[in-house]
Amino acid sequence: MAETVLVTGGTGYVGGWAIVALLERGYAVRTTIRSLTKADAVRAAVGDPGDRLTFATADLMNDGGWDAAMADVDYVLHVASPLGDETSKDPNALIIPARDGALRVLKAATGAGVKRVVMTSAANAASPASYAENGITDETLWTVDDPKLPAYRRSKTLAEKAVWDFMASYDGPTELTTILPGAVLGPILSADNVGTTRIIQRMLSGKMPGTPKIGLEVVDVRDLVDLHIRAMLSPEAAGERFLGTGEFVWMREIAAALKAGLGVQAKSVPTRELPNFVVRLASLTDPSLRALTISLGRRNRHTTAKADRLLSWKPRPAAETVVQCAQSLIDHGVAA
């Protein structure tokens, strides 16, 4: 009988690809969604899985449904992110949902005695306060919580700290591993969920006047899911953090890769790099740019040597990922 893996957030970008990968590997998959009305859309996005995909109704913001979702589950991939208010000036609008949602999943999993929980954190939970600092960061560094940091970055750090603190006092069979990805890009599964590929969508649309001097550690969503599954199965992964960042590329290099890989389809992609002061001025009136200003001219990077050494994980080149991401957006009719 196939082992069962619970994937949180089946309607999400990473969640959908996790379902695809697990079904391809022969697992039975149960996924949480906030409403069963979304089940048909998930089934359509991941392909026809027969009878190995089932659904549980559960919300990261509420206790109800989680014990039932964990029943007879062998592993949990907690890849969902709670719907905090990213527009709020109160950082707790993001921090509290992220922290409480992660603890809600972990408490239900340990209560059910699952073998291992693999939780998605973020690379910026293992970063220096300023990306302007030179250096290569590994998993031994924890981001120091600072009210001056963007709320999203704080929420990821505090949520991961909370689950490790919980496990420090837990005495039971369940193991925990956390994965810290970089900028997650790659193909989409449906036009209804572009996930974190919006940055490529904006570049294709021509709505960006130029590229900010920001570097991204691009990881393909398919490689990220592969890392989660390797961490789920490897004995060496128990109790460990793994950075899942990919190749570091500047935005202008992403633009160049799109131009080279897509030709005329990338005719609206901007190639001019914007001066930092222009981006900072624009951020005064565009809230979506404010969180980016901390990364302008970024020097700090992360290493995935640990994932390579313990899990034999190697991400694909960034150019391949961004071109396939863009082509997928075009094919689904959501590039504009």
Could you give the residue numbers annotated as active site? Answer: 156
Distance of CA 149 to the CA centre of its chain: 19
Which residues have CB under 8 Å from 117's CB, separation 6+? 75, 76, 78, 105, 106, 109, 174, 175, 176, 177
Is 290 strand, coil or helix?
helix
Indicate the pairing of strand 215-220 with strand 247-250: antiparallel
Which residues have CB under 8 Å from 132's CB, separation 6+? 297, 298, 299, 300
DSSP sequence for 310-336: HH---PPPHHHHHHHHHHHHHHTT---
Where does the chain show beta strands of DSSP type E? 4-7, 28-33, 53-57, 75-78, 116-120, 136-137, 175-181, 183-185, 215-220, 241-244, 247-250, 301-302
Which residues have CB under 8 Å from 115's CB, separation 6+? 74, 75, 173, 174, 175
What residues does 78 pair with on adjacent strands? 119
